[in-house]
């Protein structure tokens, strides 16, 4: 107990603990407060709507809402009921009407579940196998306890915002990585682990104190971050009745747990504490077994990526379905596991995910605690940072080139070569399994555009108009056949044959209309500006420029693969001499420190550029091979989606986009150098870099596009900036603030 209090006090008394925790809570609170549920309807609109709804008797609400919706659909001057602005009345009415239907139809839904249990062969239960029968019966039994539940009207928007913030999860994981992993690695680095062997049960007592500290931190961070989320959301959207049944919340109707909103909130916090405790134990175990901060960071990211791929690529209802739900990313969400009713097939028996979830968490926690105690207390562990093997086929100690010496340190001693190899193999695998499946209309569109390839001329416009007349003729034949059949002039067989023939032609009409629009655009360019532009199939170019259906997802994934090796390897590389004491020796040589740092920067640039090429080129090559790219020398006017940079050829726009990405990679390299030169804490440097650069990209990939306004994401994408989406002056304020911070650190260091 005394050691626990001592270790806890050692953590709390550090100024960095209060600073980092305060920054994390404020950052989470600000982003939570300024993020909104709906980009059009503001929180105050929902508060006002529910205030007005309270004035209507509950039994009459659905009828009045339906009448109001019908009235405003036919009369533009109809009095408003739930909003102060006419443009918001319709969407709010529609949403509240869906809630009214959800409340009134819930008893019927429960009855349907009981009826379905007697018919397990229906579609929602997959097939009529033995598991399906058991699954149907278990579903009926679980929902039977909800019979008689009376749902209530609640404004659940704030509560949903308070319990579904991926940003809060990532901030807490980052805090745990910093406060749990760093003390262990610091003791290894300073050699204090040697002294633990000299005391009876010293190592076991020490590690037990670290486990309890992990539990305390998990609880404190949960209450601070998620508690602030709750109060901020309630302040924005209004109070919520915590005594109402959980199913009163929209989206929770399929939940099979009998809880009130308040009891669900308590259960939510407890499960969050457990999953954070599990993650902190994982960081603790990784820091015990890791020989360096590079290994700790790389393993942590690797575990996160494995969980992400399990969640994304393991199909539902497959034999590995359990791994889709039983992994860290699925666990950390908490809400989806309680919000949806899911039964997993465990040895032929259906087990509810909401029942399995806490049991698996507790089991994994006990297993990890046992492994940590055994690994640390009774098994030889890595008690200090071990230098990497310096055996190599070249006698590096006899090579005079500082660049080669530094390259050896980065690639061999700091495992940079291994990281680059893993990066290269992951890119090869990722793009070998990736597939571009074009829809039927897109295939027709590509066929049309390839037929019209070449520069625009009036004959191509005439061809399009002629083809349009053919479609109109087919429509006329179809309508005539239907009319003649109704009059009894033709038999049903002749009608069906005519419809089949016309449908085969008309199914290409949607693609043709897109072609027609593109040809008319090119004709207008010639008529108004005198430009003769080519007809090109643009899907490949749109995907490269982030304007396809996938948006900027590929840009952000490439940025993740770029940042992981940089944050893993470079901070430790730039801090190597400082941590080993060689920096003082280098100072004694003439101009040694300046030359040495210049060469280290040079090697860092080589590593960054090589990582950039590995991560940026596969998508371009993949698109060029599978979709094709237009002639890159063509003017951007030829594709209207990228015509905002009017005077640039396509290849210059492409170079500009990739140039912005490379410049951002070099900015990351510069920030790594600055932080590494003026901080002694490797974990702190990696945590700052992860929070500033990697965390916003992860949020973008999760669908939180608003984070682009407050991050470096536009520069990591390049296309996001060039396409002119957003008020990017905020980005430059962040750049300036970060630069001033680094400059301040440099000044203090030199003084």
Q: What average pLDDT score do residues 645-664 get?
A: 80
pLDDT above 60 (res 739): no
Pick the closest to residue 282 from 306, 309, 300, 270 (CA basis): 300
Question: What is the rounded CA–CA span in Å between residue 249 and residue 533?
Answer: 55
Over the chain, what is the mean pLDDT? 76
Contact predicate 571/682, CB 8 Å: yes
The pLDDT-based confidence of 410 (bands split at 50, 70, 90) is confident
Lowest model confidence (mean pLDDT) among 33-47, 451-465, 612-626: 33-47
pLDDT at 655: 87
360-380 as b/e: b if 16+ CB within 10 A: bbeebbeebbeebbeebbeee
Beta bridge partners of 649: 635
The pLDDT-based confidence of 276 (bands split at 50, 70, 90) is very high
Lowest model confidence (mean pLDDT) among 198-212, 619-633, 725-739: 725-739
Question: What is the rounded CA–CA span in Å between residue 343 and residue 325?
Answer: 11
Which of 128-137, 419-428, 735-744 has the highest mean predicted lDDT (pLDDT)?
Answer: 419-428
> Greatest CA separation found in the chain?
105
Residue with tokens 């793009």: 431
The residue among 302 and 367 whose pLDDT is bigger is 367
Around Cβ 262, how many Cβ atoms within 10 Å? Answer: 14
Straight-line distance from the first to the last Cα atom of the chain, in angstroms, rounded to the nearest whole number? 42
Lowest model confidence (mean pLDDT) among 148-152, 391-395, 743-747: 391-395
Question: What is the rounded CA–CA span in Å between residue 95 and residue 41?
Answer: 11
pLDDT at 519: 76
Query: Model-level pTM?
Result: 0.66
List Cβ<8 Å contacts ≥24 apart for 321-328.
Answer: 321/345, 322/346, 325/353, 326/356, 326/360, 328/275, 328/278, 328/279, 328/282, 328/303, 328/304
Q: How far is CA 615 from the centre of its chain?
A: 18
pLDDT at 388: 42
Contact predicate 641/538, CB 8 Å: yes
Lowest model confidence (mean pLDDT) among 50-59, 100-109, 221-230, 380-389: 380-389
Question: What is the rounded CA–CA span in Å between residue 736 and residue 716?
Answer: 17
Beta bridge partners of 346: 349
pLDDT above 80 (res 104): yes
The pLDDT-based confidence of 736 (bands split at 50, 70, 90) is low
Looking at 530-649, list the stretches that DSSP marks H as alpha helix, in order from N- to C-terminal side: 539-544, 553-574, 576-580, 582-587, 592-626
Question: What is the rounded CA–CA span in Å between residue 361 and residue 356?
Answer: 9
Around Cβ 250, how many Cβ atoms within 10 Å? Answer: 16
Question: What is the rounded CA–CA span in Å between residue 685 and residue 569?
Answer: 12
Question: What is the rounded CA–CA span in Å between residue 301 and residue 307?
Answer: 10
Q: Which H or E element spans position 346?
A: strand 343-346
Residue 345's φ and ψ, nearest 5 degrees, are -90, 100
pLDDT at 644: 57
Alpha carbon distances (Å) from 702 to 117, 156, 250, 295: 36, 22, 21, 27
Lowest model confidence (mean pLDDT) among 251-255, 354-358, 441-445, 562-566: 441-445
Rounded to 5°, the CA angle 126-130-132 comes to 30
Q: Could you give the percent of the chain with pLDDT greater than 90?
A: 4
Around Cβ 95, how many Cβ atoms within 10 Å? Answer: 17
pLDDT at 366: 92
Residue with tokens 């037929």: 451
Lowest model confidence (mean pLDDT) among 34-43, 523-532, 605-614, 624-633: 34-43
Contact predicate 41/88, CB 8 Å: yes
Q: What average pLDDT score do residues 361-374 get?
A: 88
SS3 of 352, please?
Answer: strand
The pLDDT-based confidence of 738 (bands split at 50, 70, 90) is low
The residue among 254 and 609 whose pLDDT is bigger is 609
Residues 6+ apart with CB under 8 A from 500: none
pLDDT above 90 (res 413): no
pLDDT above 70 (res 384): no
Residue with tokens 């669900």: 264
Around Cβ 387, how many Cβ atoms within 10 Å? Answer: 10
Question: What is the rounded CA–CA span in Å between residue 724 and residue 726?
Answer: 6
* Encoded tokens for 137: 């019966």
pLDDT above 50 (res 751): no
Contact predicate 631/534, CB 8 Å: yes
Pick the closest to residue 46 from 163, 151, 153 (CA basis): 153
């Amino acid at each position: 107990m005394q050691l626990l209090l001592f270790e806890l006090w050692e953590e709390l008394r550090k100024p960095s603990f209060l600073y980092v925790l305060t920054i994390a809570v404020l950052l989470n609170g600000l982003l939570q407060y300024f993020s909104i549920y709906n980009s059009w309807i503001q929180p105050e609109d929902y508060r006002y709507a529910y205030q007005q709804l309270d004035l209507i008797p509950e039994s009459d609400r659905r009828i009045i809402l339906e009448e109001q919706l019908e009235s405003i659909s036919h009369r533009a001057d109809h009095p408003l009921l739930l909003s102060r602005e006419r443009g918001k009345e319709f969407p709010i009415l529609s949403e509240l009407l869906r809630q009214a239907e959800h409340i009134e139809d819930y008893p019927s839904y429960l009855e349907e579940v009981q009826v379905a249990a007697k018919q397990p062969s229906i579609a929602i239960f997959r097939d009529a196998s033995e598991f399906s029968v058991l699954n149907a019966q278990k579903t009926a039994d679980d929902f039977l306890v909800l019979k008689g539940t009376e749902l209530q009207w609640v404004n659940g928007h704030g509560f949903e915002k308070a319990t579904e913030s991926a940003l809060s999860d990532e901030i807490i994981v980052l805090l745990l990585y910093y406060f749990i992993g760093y003390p262990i690695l610091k003791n290894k680095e300073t050699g204090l682990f040697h002294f633990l062997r000299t005391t009876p049960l010293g190592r076991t007592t020490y590690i037990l104190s670290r486990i309890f500290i992990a539990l305390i931190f998990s609880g404190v961070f949960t209450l601070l971050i998620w508690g602030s989320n709750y109060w901020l959301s309630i302040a924005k959207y209004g109070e919520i009745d915590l005594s109402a049944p959980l199913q009163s919340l929209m989206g929770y109707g399929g939940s099979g747990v009998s809880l009130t909103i308040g009891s669900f909130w308590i259960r939510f916090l407890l499960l969050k504490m457990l999953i954070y405790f599990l993650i902190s134990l994982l960081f603790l175990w990784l820091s015990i077994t890791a020989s360096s901060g590079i290994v700790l960071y790389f393993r942590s990211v690797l575990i996160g990526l494995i969980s992400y791929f399990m969640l994304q690529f393991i199909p539902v209802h497959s034999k590995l379905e359990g791994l889709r739900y039983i992994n860290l990313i699925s666990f950390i969400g908490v809400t989806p596991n309680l919000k949806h009713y899911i039964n997993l097939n465990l040895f032929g028996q259906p087990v509810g995910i909401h029942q399995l979830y806490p049991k698996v968490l507790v089991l994994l926690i006990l297993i990890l605690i046992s492994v940590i105690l055994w690994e640390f207390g009774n098994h030889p562990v890595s008690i200090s940072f071990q230098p990497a093997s310096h055996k190599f086929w070249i006698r590096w100690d006899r090579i005079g080139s500082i660049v080669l010496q530094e390259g050896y340190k980065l690639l061999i001693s700091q495992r940079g070569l291994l990281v680059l190899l893993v990066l290269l193999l992951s890119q090869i695998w990722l793009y070998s399994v990736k597939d571009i499946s074009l829809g039927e209309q897109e295939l027709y569109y590509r066929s049309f555009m390839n037929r019209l390839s070449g520069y625009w001329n009036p004959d191509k416009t005439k061809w399009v108009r002629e083809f349009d007349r053919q479609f109109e003729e087919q429509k006329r034949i179809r309508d005539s056949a239907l009319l003649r059949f109704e009059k009894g002039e033709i038999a049903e067989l002749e009608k069906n044959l005519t419809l089949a023939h016309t449908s085969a032609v008309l199914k290409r009409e949607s693609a043709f209309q897109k072609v027609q629009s593109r040809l008319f655009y090119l004709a207008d360019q010639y008529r108004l500006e005198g430009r003769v532009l080519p007809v090109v199939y643009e899907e490949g170019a749109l995907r490269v420029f982030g304007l396809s259906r996938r948006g900027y997802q590929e840009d952000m994934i490439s940025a993740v693969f770029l940042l992981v090796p940089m944050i893993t390897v470079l901070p430790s590389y730039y801090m190597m001499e400082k941590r080993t004491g060689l920096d003082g020796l280098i100072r004694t040589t003439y101009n040694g420190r300046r030359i040495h740092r210049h060469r280290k920067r040079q090697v860092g640039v080589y590593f960054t550029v090589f990582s950039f090429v590995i991560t940026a080129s596969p998508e371009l090559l993949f698109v060029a091979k599978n979709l094709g790219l237009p002639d890159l020398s063509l003017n951007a006017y030829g594709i209207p989606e990228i015509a905002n940079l009017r005077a640039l050829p396509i290849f210059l726009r492409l170079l500009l986009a990739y140039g912005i990405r490379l410049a951002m990679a070099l900015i990351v390299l510069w920030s790594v150098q600055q932080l590494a030169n003026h901080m002694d804490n490797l974990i702190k440097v990696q945590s700052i870099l992860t929070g500033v650069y990697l965390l916003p990209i992860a949020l973008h990939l999760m669908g939180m596009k608003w984070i682009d306004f407050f991050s470096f994401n536009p520069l990591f994408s390049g296309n996001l900036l060039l396409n002119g989406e957003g008020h990017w002056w905020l980005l430059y304020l962040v750049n300036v603030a970060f630069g001033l911070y680094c400059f301040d650190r440099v000044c203090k260091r030199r003084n």
